[in-house]
Every structure is written in structure tokens, then in C-alpha cells.
């Protein structure tokens, strides 16, 4: 199957976007219309424990079953899928090379990738795309995307076990950009950091004009916060998860009113993982500013299930000195308000940042770098 070379291919026909999260499997399906994408289906279910690790499907059988459940409970009609790969082995690089044709480029890509891949090119799935000629006319800008092949084959096995047809795979940063920023948006020409705080990891990306010059994945997310509550308050993981959703709040100097003792205790125990998270985000944004001198980051969009932690947006805004907004990708398309009430979309939106962007691909809402 030529599936393995599909980072930049098109997935003709209706597709369902599937995000293989380690905490939740999520899916979004859009239909096309003259007014742009129309939201048709949104659904998520808990990922069976331990079945996805570091973005890799560890148990295809179990995930295949869960995908069947996701598709049937969510009433999805599409059977062809687009999914994303993410994690430390996913590499996105824009490089400059002498002008050459697509065929020559394919041959040279492997050698270029050898210089920056943290694993053997033989284990990698690599794809490249010519973005255009450089200003001098002698060279061209090329986008190289690579992932460890296991990541892709393991997803493919699970999808096929679920009776689905894997049509396209792309890398997660492109999905998030497509979900959140369109060429006619005011901030399209600005550097925007898109941060996806998930369960086991957080991805930190900077985008401008449809490109993603910076992407990084760090192994810290909501699980670390839950674990800190479980250990610190001596409760089970399940109870800690519930407390995190219902009682956890990041306190600040602005909290002048009385704070219940449990809220203070939770805040104290979650401070170390939160500090670690902020430090990683700081380091990433500083690296971006050093690498691309003269570029400033204007704002931050926050997605992922853990962006729902109360006050995380205000806390990050204070720490980073930047405006931070909660991502709501599902409100960025036409939808029937009777099927999708505003509070449902707002509640589910941040978690769906990857799945929504996937679902929108091939409906005309392309980012430049991820376009076919």
C-alpha cells in the first residue's frame, strides 16, 4: 500500500479525522459546502489504558475495537480516515537546497534527513515538498517531514482492524494550524504559538503564514498533574482525576476572596509539574526567538484536554507575558446549532484541536505547508 508516503497526499472523498490520544480517542467529520466546512460529527471516548504509548499504538487489537466503538457511537458515515502522528520522533524542517526537480529531491531528501533525524533514516518515513524558489533564484525552500515508521504502521493496523481505510497521515502541528488559523484571519501573518497540553505530553509550536517553523514535544501533561494530586493527597488516580476537573484551580495574587482549603492543597501539590511545564514552554519560545532572530511571538493559543485546567490560560499569560486564548476549533465552522449547542462546542473544543484540523483537510481549508 502506498499509504506510507502520504504526508502530502490528498484523500479524495469524505474523510473522518482521528486523533490517537493516549487519554482519549477523538474524531471529527466535516462536510464541504460553498460556505466552507460544515461540522457533521464530533465524538470522543477514553483510550483503553496503556494501549497508546508515546503516540504509538501498543495494542492494535484493543485500539481497533475502541475505534469501532468511536465510529458507531459517534454515528460517523465516512469510512476513510485521516490521522496524525506526533511525539518526539516527528520532525518538521524547512531547509534550503539547490533547485532540482521532484524526483531528484526525493533522492536527496534521505541524505538531508540523515543530518537531523535522531534515529536511522531506514526506520523513518520521510516526505518532502517544494515550497518555492528562494529569493536568489538559485535555491529553493523545501519542507521535510519525517516520523518513525512504527508510529504510522501501528495506527494503520488499528484502523484496518476497525474496518476503516487509512487514506492520509499528517503531522500533528499542521492539523492544529489548520484548525485554528485561516489565511484571511488577522493574525495569519503573525507568529502565534499553538500549545497542545494533552495527557502524557505537550506539543509547543510556532506558526506564521501557514508555515510551522518550530515544533517541539515534551513528555509532560495532564497525567503528571493527576499523579501529583494522587500522591500529594493520597487518593486514587480516579479520585485525583475527578478532583482535578472539579476542584483544581491555579491560584494567583488576584485571588483575593476566601479559598477553600482543598483548593489550596491541590494548588500546592500541582505547582511542581506546572512549573516544569512552564519552564519547558519558556525554553521552547526562547529557542524560537534565538533561532529566528528578529521574530517576535505575538500570542498563544492553548488547546488539548489539559487546557481546561482552571486558570491555566491566565497563569501562562502571566508567566509568558503574552496574551493566551483557549482554542475553540469547533466554533470556526458552520454548524447546526440544534445538533451542536454552543456550550457543547466550547466544552469539547480545546480537546478537539487536532481532530478538527484533520477533518478539515481536503475541504479547501489548507495551511500552506500542509497543502497537497
Ligand X SMILES: Nc1ncnc2c1ncn2[C@@H]1O[C@H](COP(=O)(O)OP(=O)(O)OP(=O)(O)O)[C@@H](O)[C@H]1O
197 contacts 205 by C-beta, under 8 angstroms: no
Please state the length of the chain. 372
- Paired strand residues for 211: 208
Binding site for ligand X (CB under 6 A): 21-24, 198-201, 221-223, 226, 241, 244-245, 304-306, 308-309, 351
Choosing from 21, 55, 87, 210, the residue that interacts with Mg ion (CB under 5 A) is 21
| Residue with smallest beta-carbon separation from Mg ion | 198
Q: Determine if 222 is a binding residue for Mg ion (CB under 5 A).
A: no
273 near Mg ion, judged by CB under 5 A? no
- CB closer to ligand X out of 97 and 197: 197
Q: Which stretch binds Mg ion (CB under 5 A): 8-16, 192-200, 275-283, 315-323?
A: 192-200
Which segments of the chain are extended strands (E)?
Answer: 15-20, 24-31, 38-46, 52-53, 56-57, 80-85, 91-98, 124-133, 139-148, 165-171, 191-197, 202-208, 211-218, 297-303, 324-326
Under rule CB under 5 A, residue 11 binds Mg ion: no
**Residue 354 Cβ, how far from Mg ion at the closest point, in Å?**
6
Q: What is the DSSP string of 4-51?
A: GG-TT----S-EEEEEE-SSEEEEEEEE--TTS-EEEEEEEEEPPTTS
- Taking the complex as a whole, the smallest distance from the CB of residue 217 to ligand X amounts, in Å, to 9
The interface partner of residue 87, options being Mg ion, ligand X, none and the CB cut-off 5 to 8 Å by kind, is none
**Minimum separation from the CB atom of position 299 to ligand X (A):** 20
Closer residue to ligand X in complex, CB, 89/226: 226
Could you say whether residue 198 binds Mg ion (CB under 5 A)?
yes
* CA–CA gap between residue 165 and residue 16 (Å, rounded): 10
Nearer to ligand X, 17 or 222 (CB): 222
221 binds Mg ion (CB under 5 A): no
Instruction: State the number of binding residues for Mg ion (CB under 5 A).
Output: 2
Pick between residue 142 and residue 159 the one whose CB is nearest to ligand X. 159
Q: Exposure pattern of 310-338 as b/e (b: 16+ CB <10 Å)?
A: bbbbebbbbbbebebeebbbbebbebeee
Amino acid at each position: 500500500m502506498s499509504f506510507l508516503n502520504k504526508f502530502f497526499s490528498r484523500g479524495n472523498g469524505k474523510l473522518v479525522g482521528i486523533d490517537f490520544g493516549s487519554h482519549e480517542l477523538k474524531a471529527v467529520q466535516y462536510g464541504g459546502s460553498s460556505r466552507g466546512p460544515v461540522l457533521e460529527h464530533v465524538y470522543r471516548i477514553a483510550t483503553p489504558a496503556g494501549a497508546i504509548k508515546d503516540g504509538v499504538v501498543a495494542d492494535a487489537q484493543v485500539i481497533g475495537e475502541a475505534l469501532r466503538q468511536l465510529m458507531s457511537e459517534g454515528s460517523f458515515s465516512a469510512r476513510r480516515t485521516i490521522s496524525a502522528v506526533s511525539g518526539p520522533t516527528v520532525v518538521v524542517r524547512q531547509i534550503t537546497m539547490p533547485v532540482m526537480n521532484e524526483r531528484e529531491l526525493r533522492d536527496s531528501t534521505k541524505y538531508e534527513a540523515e543530518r537531523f533525524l535522531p534515529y536511522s533514516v531506514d526506520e523513518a518515513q520521510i516526505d518532502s515538498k517544494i515550497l518555492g524558489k528562494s529569493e536568489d533564484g538559485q535555491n529553493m525552500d523545501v519542507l521535510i517531514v519525517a516520523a518513525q515508521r512504527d508510529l504510522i504502521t501501528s495506527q494503520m493496523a488499528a484502523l484496518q482492524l476497525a474496518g476503516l481505510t487509512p487514506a492520509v497521515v499528517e503531522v500533528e502541528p499542521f492539523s492544529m494550524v489548520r484548525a485554528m488559523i485561516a489565511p484571511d484571519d488577522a493574525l495569519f501573518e503573525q507568529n502565534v504559538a499553538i500549545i497542545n497540553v494533552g495527557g502524557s505530553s505537550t506539543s509547543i509550536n510556532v506558526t506564521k503564514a501557514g508555515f510551522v517553523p518550530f515544533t517541539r514535544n515534551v513528555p509532560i501533561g495532564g497525567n503528571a498533574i493527576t499523579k501529583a494530586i494522587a500522591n500529594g493527597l493520597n487518593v486514587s488516580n480516579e479520585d485525583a482525576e475527578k478532583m482535578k476537573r472539579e476542584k483544581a484551580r491555579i491560584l494567583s495574587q488576584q485571588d483575593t476572596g476566601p479559598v477553600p482549603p482543598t483548593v489550596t492543597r491541590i494548588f500546592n501539590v500541582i505547582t511542581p509539574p506546572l512549573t516544569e511545564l512552564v519552564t519547558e514552554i519558556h525554553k521552547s519560545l526562547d529557542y524560537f526567538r534565538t533561532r529566528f532572530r528578529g521574530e517576535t511571538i505575538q500570542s498563544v493559543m492553548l488547546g488539548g484536554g489539559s487546557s481546561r485546567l482552571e486558570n491555566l490560560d491566565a497563569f501562562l499569560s502571566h508567566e509568558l507575558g503574552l496574551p493566551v486564548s483557549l482554542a475553540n476549533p469547533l466554533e470556526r465552522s458552520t454548524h447546526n446549532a440544534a445538533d451542536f449547542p454552543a456550550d457543547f462546542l466550547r466544552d469539547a473544543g480545546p480537546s478537539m484541536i487536532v481532530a478538527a484540523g484533520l477533518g478539515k483537510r481536503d475541504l479547501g481549508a489548507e495551511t500552506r505547508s500542509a497543502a497537497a
